[in-house]
Amino acid sequence: MRVSDERISHAEPFGEYWDRLVVYFSVRRCAPAAEDLASEVITRVLTAINAGEAIRDVGAYMYGVARNVRFEYFRDKFEKHEEILVDPPVNPAQPSELDATALSECLEELFPESRQLLLEFYAEGKNKRNRAALAARLKIGSNALYIRASRLRQKVRDCMKRRMAAHDA
């Protein structure tokens, strides 16, 4: 199907939005279909304009349409029972004993208080109430607790990477 010259001339001002929309969808776990979704948004906006809809702020309107298109994308994937992950795990196998050993060793490298904080933060009953109670017990705010846990998790992750790289070498 050939697109009419009139439609192309109406779409030209939206070229700058197309790149932004591709980035918008790419960073929101829609990377495989980002370009198609961006085109869909522009098509819907052009259809609304051609239908005579009064749009005061095209950028805001386009963002709203993009948000709806993204929701539809995930709804369709969910209904089809497709995998929604953008980057599937490289090694979906169960953690090996080497992984468990490396994790234990990395946790042992932490100070006892830090290790206990990390274990409680990621305990089985992890929820807002448990984490709020942990923050209250430590006499710190919830945000500070999340930041500490994030930094500790990064330390453990770096340690795991070093150990796995040393094992692979």
Q: How many other C-beta atoms lie within 10 A of the C-beta of residue 115?
A: 16
pLDDT tens over the chain, length 169 residues:
233 334 444 556 677 788 888 888 888 878 788 888 988 998 898 888 889 888 888 888 988 999 999 988 888 777 665 555 445 555 544 556 667 788 888 888 889 888 888 888 877 566 777 888 888 988 988 888 888 888 898 998 898 888 888 877 6
**Per the structure block, which two tokens stand in for 27?**
């960073």
| Contact present, 116 and 152 (Cβ < 8 Å) | no
pLDDT the model gives residue 91:
53
pLDDT the model gives residue 6:
42
For the chain, list the domains and their CATH numbers.
5-79 (no CATH), 97-168 (1.10.10)
pLDDT the model gives residue 153:
87
d(C-alpha 59, C-alpha 65), whole Å: 10
| Contact present, 70 and 63 (Cβ < 8 Å) | no
d(C-alpha 103, C-alpha 152), whole Å: 13
**Per the structure block, which two tokens stand in for 140?**
């710190």
pLDDT digits (tens, 9 = 90+) for 12-27: 667 778 888 888 888 8
pLDDT the model gives residue 142:
84
d(C-alpha 101, C-alpha 80), whole Å: 39
The 3-state DSSP class for residue 100 equals helix
| Contact present, 25 and 70 (Cβ < 8 Å) | yes
pTM for this model (two decimals) = 0.43
**Which among 7, 4, 3, 5 is positioned nearest to 47, based on CA atoms?**
7
- Report how far apart, in Å, the C-alpha atoms of 67 and of each of 22, 27, 60, 61, 63 are: 13, 13, 11, 10, 6
